[in-house]
Amino acid sequence: MSIPTRQASLKELADVIGAKIHGDPETFISGIATLEHAGPGDLSFFSNRKYHKYLLETQASIVILHPDDLSNCPSSAILFNDPYLAYAKIATWLTKPKTQQVEIAANAVLEDNVTLGENISIGAHVVIGTGSKIGDNVRLHAGCSIADNVTIADSTILYPNVSIYSNVSIGKQCIIHSGAVIGSDGFGIANEQGDWFKVPQLGHVVVGDNVEVGANTTIDRGAIEDTIIENGVKLDNLIQIAHNVRIGENTAIAGCVGIAGSSTIGKYCAIGGGAGILGHLNIADHVHITATSLVTKSITEAGVYSSGTPLQENAQWHKNFIRFKQLDKMARRLSELEKRNNL
């Protein structure tokens, strides 16, 4: 299946990223498709060796690929060292929406002292609280709830039914997907003779520029200090970020990750899906944590870290688990043997 786009030539597409070309500069495309399903008039890309057989047979008019793979390409080509990145930038350019008409839905509710920028769009049933400031070129889709004293900077998009609590600041060019909640109370409770007493959550949430927050992801406000999401952070769907967490620049976090309170994640980190990070920990810059890992202590050096047991056939897993329970006994026996033999 081809995804329709606006029409563009090989030269135009290459100019978007400053790439070299192979073939007729006036080769045109008007759609995007995978190598396997592309036809004439489609753009595709090759970045994974698993799809090499599809490259050899593709009908795409233009393929984005590494220069080393040009000899295997039957089509015109855009040559770039990172084809996937090149595709991302070109596809963004091809599918960029047209300038929208400025509109504020008749049933939107704007409380007192709301400041609105230029060229904004506010959808049906949006509510904006007292003292909030909405920047230029902001799009608030239907059903969004913006509480008091919220700041949303220029060119940020909130998709339907996003909830932003009071005293939250969101930077420029952010994307907040449906169902996200930013600024809800952190999980602060104190025990009083068996009963739980709620601890007031008095801090704020500060979201930097060019941040993406996935659908149904939640970011809690700080207990006293702020929860901070720095510039360029990318958050997948269904992530829980607790109070007072700080996430460094350009860190990417996959779905279903949970980060407990007052932990700090460094810059340029990557955290795989389903990972858990306990509270009050520090993660260094350039750390990669693989999927479903449990981080129980701080990580002070860059690198790749993993925990957990990869999937196995059930009978083999049972055998390994039994042996795992025997490790302590085996270690003690080995230590005794080493002592007897003066090793």
Dihedral sign for Cα atoms in the order 33, 35, 41, 42: positive
Q: Which of 66, 243, 286, 318 is catalytic?
A: 243
243: annotated active-site residue:
yes
Residues paired with residue 78 on neighbouring β-strands, in sequence order = 21, 64
- Write down the residue that tokens 């992801």 correspond to: 217
SS (HEC) of 261-314: CCCEECCCCEECCCCEECCCCEECCCEEECCCCEECCCECCCEEECCCCCCCCH
CB 164 within 8 A of CB 148: no
3 state SS of 207:
strand
d(CA 240, CA 246): 13
CB 237 within 8 A of CB 255: yes
172's CB contacts (< 8 A; 6+ apart) are: 135, 153, 154, 155, 156, 209, 210
CB 3 within 8 A of CB 31: yes
How many other C-beta atoms lie within 10 A of the C-beta of residue 314? 8
Which residues belong to the active site?
Answer: 243
